[in-house]
A and B are shown apart, each in its own frame.
Chain A
Amino acid sequence: MTNLTLWVLVFPLLGFILLGLFGKAMPRQAILTIAWGASGLALFFATIGFLSMMKTTPDAARISDQVIYSWVNSGTVATGVLSNNVPLNISFGLLLDPLSATMLMIVTGVGFLIHIYSAGYMEDDPGFWRFFAYMNFFIFAMALLVSADNFLFLLVGWALVGLASFLLIGFWFTRRSAVAAARKALVINIIGDFGLLLAIFLIFQNYHTLNYLSNSAGNGVFNQVTQGGVAVGITTAICLLLFVGCAAKSAQLPLYMWLPDAMEGPTPVSALIHAATMVTAGVYLVARANPLFQVSPDALIVVAIVGGATALFSATIALTQLDIKRVLAYSTISQLGYMFMAEGAQNYTAGVFHLTTHAYFKALLFLGAGSVIHALGGEQDMRQMGGLRHRLKITYWTFLIAALAISGIIPLAGFWSKDEIVGSLFARALNGGGTLFYVLWGVALLTAALTAFYMFRLVFGIFFGSYRGSGPRAHGHDDEELFEEEEHRGGHGGFYAIYESPSIMTVPLIILAVLSVIGGLVGSYALFGRPAVYPFGHFLAPLFTNNAWTNITVPEMPLSLGMSWISAGASLGLAGLGILVAWLRYRRGFEYKASRNPLYLLSFNKYYIDELCIAVIIKPLKWLGRTANSLLEGGVLDGGSRGIAWVASGVSSGLRRLQTGYMRNYALAILFGVVLLLIYYAVMRG
């Protein structure tokens, strides 16, 4: 099996370096060649790896841990905290196994499509070269994250994607809101990094290695995890700390606040980073560390609860938002909650499966929204839209497909993955999960209804009804032609000045729509009475069962046919209900009525969480900073040094008076000294 993962990393990195150094002076064609070339080559090598893996038949052989560079090789570690001298060996290696191959395909595939799309979306932007440099950097960082074979380089990739996110959210850095959003994202992500770092320390302390699996560089963590090996309390702590990192990166409660604000960045960024790839790093990490989670049941429960709470919470916020990108952002948070719910129910495959299908339709939703925004010249408020399905046909159809997929309508991809999740919650509840998982199952179903409702509220609001806006915003020299056309055609303001996006943007939409339709084919066929047919499941299964990866087998909790139909039917029915309600309310288009309903206000204002954070955290911290500044910096440090200067100048001005200039005074001083000496001798000798 060929492990060419290194090249998946190298080309985007090269692209970033070239574009970063020289991009400003390059013509557009050159920039695109390098950017598309880099991400295209990354996709190419990822595909080769994936295909070669498919051809490797015994499942246990689908692992290639290539150690590329041995970085730290210190023989013995000084004893202290660690008993037995434990060598510290850290190497840079790349792991190619089903999970990392899946993630790489998603990252490079969706990444490549979005690179193509961005060429159209960002065409007028003066920072064109910078955008593609950062995008290539992101591809590199994310690929590093998912293909690293040890926790340290996972952390490196983790931090680098945080950096890429910061750079891209704050891409239009002249806007204060964008800079604030980028900073918010970075700060919250660093909280997660901190948790991850602590987890890594604990891992090293207890397992004496940072590699995932045993390879030429040393032992692996997951090969050492056994039931009752390391104390449960410690593994729970490790898992919870890992989950802190995941919660920050994947925008779960209570570290989700950065994601809606991250919509300040360009829409392709939202699509790639905050829908399809970066936010899924948390889900990836939990799946990767499943042996650790399996021996800490409490951690799994926490994961499930947080996932469920987040899913429901953000779905309720999405019900009332007016900015189309915000609706999608909260939708992303909600769907990530689903993935964590599944992983909490010990069905990691379901979580990863939903990750892949979600990548398709969420990227599609964002790109479609971007297409709408682009056609309207920058408008993002749903109140200024309506009836656009007549003007933006391709965008409309692909968006509709994605909305159906995310609502979980059969036979689109979203149905299969969401059904897997809901079914796994039900199965876990039936298999000893207790009331908790019944409750979570109910939460999942309710959220499915809400999801369908707010998605179709969005669809109807944008594409149905009559156009409420005033035409595309001014756009340079195109204005004269637009005005002439309007006058010529008459009609509704600038409605007929709205044109479908160029094909460079619509082709990726179509591709993603196709994926959203057929993506479910690799799912489980249990509903059709063939539970054994589950291509994706079989593909990932070795990670959870095979000795090469883990000593802890993740239990399979199959549902009987009846039960699975109950679960599927419930979610399907509720989704349909949600769509129906949305249709009844909004089919004539979206009319915004400010409501005084307290529930509405809670949802609309995002439960006032941001205000709460500002009051409880930010204001005290700022006060602390200011006080410390005036006290310590001003008082102690500045005051100290000024005080020393004051003392010195005081002493010197005092001593200066000795220099009277009068010779007689000097003579007196000399005499005084002599007398002192004599007295001393007199006393001494006497």
Chain B
Amino acid sequence: MTASVPTLIEFFVLAVASVASGLGVILFKNAVHSALSLILTLLFLALFYLQLGAMFIAVVQILIYAGAIMVLFLFVVTMLASEDTGDVDVPDRRPWQRGIAIVLGFVLIGALSYLLISGASIDGAARTAGTNGLAENVASRGNAQTFGLALFHGFAFPFEVTSLLIIVALLGAMVLGRRSRAGGEHE
């Protein structure tokens, strides 16, 4: 079925907005501005997820990504920004890199777009219907419940492993963050 007009408007607005804030991430000189821009982008992406029907993920995105991770980012940015970091004062040693990067960026977009538009289409039969289908589950139980069932039934092992990963990361961060007595940390 073709999309209804409101849906299209939603899509385009969100698309433009997310691309704009993405541009903001990479273009702002001030790191704090970049971080705020990223938060905006995450927000718009969450709206995208809502539009696609992944309600739980959208909320999780806002809570975790925008809420926790970006806050962490902002902590570090503001802590280090006071010490006069990066882009503002020091001249670029490789000025040609910017040019090449932009050119390559366009090439990348072009190639990807071409491939995606010409190649990507979902076969209608790939959409599995029936009680195991996502849409049906969501319709009957709601997205969160569907998600929870899948998480603890099919994806239990990755779930556990991920928790292990988090512990490891925690430990790593504690070790790295500690101030050593003699000399500095070496990379």
Find out whether the CB atom of A679 lies under 8 angstroms from the CB atom of B107: yes
Find out whether the CB atom of B111 lies under 8 angstroms from the CB atom of A671: no
How would residues 72 to 114 of chain B score, 1 for a CB under 8 Å from any chain A CB and 0 otherwise? 0000000000000000000001100100110010011001101
Query: For the complex, is B126 an interface residue (Cβ under 8 Å from A)?
Result: no
A681-B115, A685-B118, A686-B118 given; name 20 further pairs at CB < 8 Å: A662-B94, A664-B94, A664-B97, A665-B94, A665-B97, A668-B97, A668-B100, A668-B101, A668-B104, A671-B101, A671-B104, A671-B108, A675-B107, A675-B111, A678-B111, A678-B112, A678-B115, A682-B111, A682-B114, A686-B114
Cα distance A86–B93 when bound, in Å? 83
B177 CB to nearest A CB, Å: 22
Interfacial residues of chain B within 25-50, with CB under 8 A of chain A in the complex: none
Please, which residues of chain A bring their CB within 8 A of the CB of B119?
685
Find out whether the CB atom of B115 lies under 8 angstroms from the CB atom of A662: no
Please, which residues of chain A bring their CB within 8 A of the CB of B101?
668, 671
Find out whether the CB atom of B111 lies under 8 angstroms from the CB atom of A679: yes
How would residues 636 to 669 of chain A score, 1 for a CB under 8 Å from any chain B CB and 0 otherwise? 0000000000000000000000000010110010
Please, which residues of chain A bring their CB within 8 A of the CB of B114?
682, 686
Cα distance A664–B107 when bound, in Å? 18
- Interface residue range, chain A: 10 to 19
Cα distance A678–B119 when bound, in Å? 13
Please, which residues of chain A bring their CB within 8 A of the CB of B111?
675, 678-679, 681-682
Cα distance A662–B100 when bound, in Å? 15
| 14 pairs, CB–CB < 8 Å, chain A vs chain B | A662-B94, A664-B97, A668-B97, A668-B100, A668-B104, A671-B101, A671-B108, A678-B108, A678-B112, A678-B115, A681-B111, A682-B114, A685-B118, A685-B119
A5 CB to nearest B CB, Å: 87
Please, which residues of chain A bring their CB within 8 A of the CB of B112?
678
Find out whether the CB atom of B97 lies under 8 angstroms from the CB atom of A674: no
Query: For the complex, is A483 an interface residue (Cβ under 8 Å from B)?
Result: no
Please, which residues of chain A bring their CB within 8 A of the CB of B107?
675, 679
A679 CB to nearest B CB, Å: 6
Cα distance A681–B108 when bound, in Å? 12
Cα distance A671–B100 when bound, in Å? 11
Interfacial residues of chain A within 529-566, with CB under 8 A of chain B in the complex: none
Cα distance A671–B104 when bound, in Å? 8
B104 CB to nearest A CB, Å: 6
- On whether A674 and B115 interact (CB within 8 A), knowing A664-B97, A665-B97, A668-B100, the answer reads no
Cα distance A675–B111 when bound, in Å? 8
Cα distance A665–B114 when bound, in Å? 27
Query: For the complex, is A672 an interface residue (Cβ under 8 Å from B)?
Result: yes
Find out whether the CB atom of B97 lies under 8 angstroms from the CB atom of A672: no
Closest residue on chain B to residue A677 by CB atoms: B111
Please, which residues of chain B bring their CB within 8 A of the CB of A679?
107, 111
Cα distance A545–B146 when bound, in Å? 122
Q: Footprint of A on B, CB under 8 Å? A: 93-94, 97, 100-101, 104, 107-108, 111-112, 114-115, 118-119
Please, which residues of chain B bring their CB within 8 A of the CB of A672?
104
Find out whether the CB atom of A675 lies under 8 angstroms from the CB atom of B97: no
Please, which residues of chain B bring their CB within 8 A of the CB of A685?
115, 118-119
Cα distance A671–B111 when bound, in Å? 13
Cα distance A686–B117 when bound, in Å? 11
Closest 8 CB pairs of A and B: A678-B111, A682-B111, A675-B107, A682-B114, A675-B108, A671-B104, A679-B111, A675-B104
Please, which residues of chain A bring their CB within 8 A of the CB of B108?
671, 674-675, 678
Please, which residues of chain B bring their CB within 8 A of the CB of A681?
111, 115
Interfacial residues of chain A within 79-103, with CB under 8 A of chain B in the complex: none
A114 CB to nearest B CB, Å: 86
Find out whether the CB atom of A662 lies under 8 angstroms from the CB atom of B93: yes
B65 CB to nearest A CB, Å: 23
Please, which residues of chain A bring their CB within 8 A of the CB of B94?
662, 664-665
A663 CB to nearest B CB, Å: 11
B179 CB to nearest A CB, Å: 25
Please, which residues of chain B bring their CB within 8 A of the CB of A686?
114, 118
B121 CB to nearest A CB, Å: 13
Please, which residues of chain B bring their CB within 8 A of the CB of A671?
101, 104, 108
Please, which residues of chain B bring their CB within 8 A of the CB of A675?
104, 107-108, 111
Please, which residues of chain B bring their CB within 8 A of the CB of A662?
93-94
A509 CB to nearest B CB, Å: 95
Closest residue on chain A to residue B108 by CB atoms: A675
Cα distance A309–B100 when bound, in Å? 91
Closest residue on chain A to residue B93 by CB atoms: A662
Closest residue on chain A to residue B113 by CB atoms: A682
A157 CB to nearest B CB, Å: 78
A674 CB to nearest B CB, Å: 7
Interfacial residues of chain A within 433-459, with CB under 8 A of chain B in the complex: none
Closest residue on chain B to residue A667 by CB atoms: B101
Cα distance A48–B93 when bound, in Å? 103
Please, which residues of chain A bring their CB within 8 A of the CB of B97?
664-665, 668
Please, which residues of chain B bring their CB within 8 A of the CB of A664?
94, 97
Cα distance A239–B107 when bound, in Å? 86
Cα distance A615–B97 when bound, in Å? 71
Cα distance A674–B101 when bound, in Å? 13
A682 CB to nearest B CB, Å: 5
Cα distance A679–B97 when bound, in Å? 21
A659 CB to nearest B CB, Å: 14
Please, which residues of chain B bring their CB within 8 A of the CB of A678?
108, 111-112, 115
B93 CB to nearest A CB, Å: 7
Cα distance A678–B108 when bound, in Å? 8
A37 CB to nearest B CB, Å: 83
Please, which residues of chain B bring their CB within 8 A of the CB of A668?
97, 100-101, 104
Closest residue on chain A to residue B114 by CB atoms: A682
A343 CB to nearest B CB, Å: 93
Cα distance A686–B118 when bound, in Å? 8
Cα distance A672–B112 when bound, in Å? 14
Please, which residues of chain A bring their CB within 8 A of the CB of B93?
662
Closest residue on chain A to residue B92 by CB atoms: A664
Cα distance A337–B2 when bound, in Å? 121
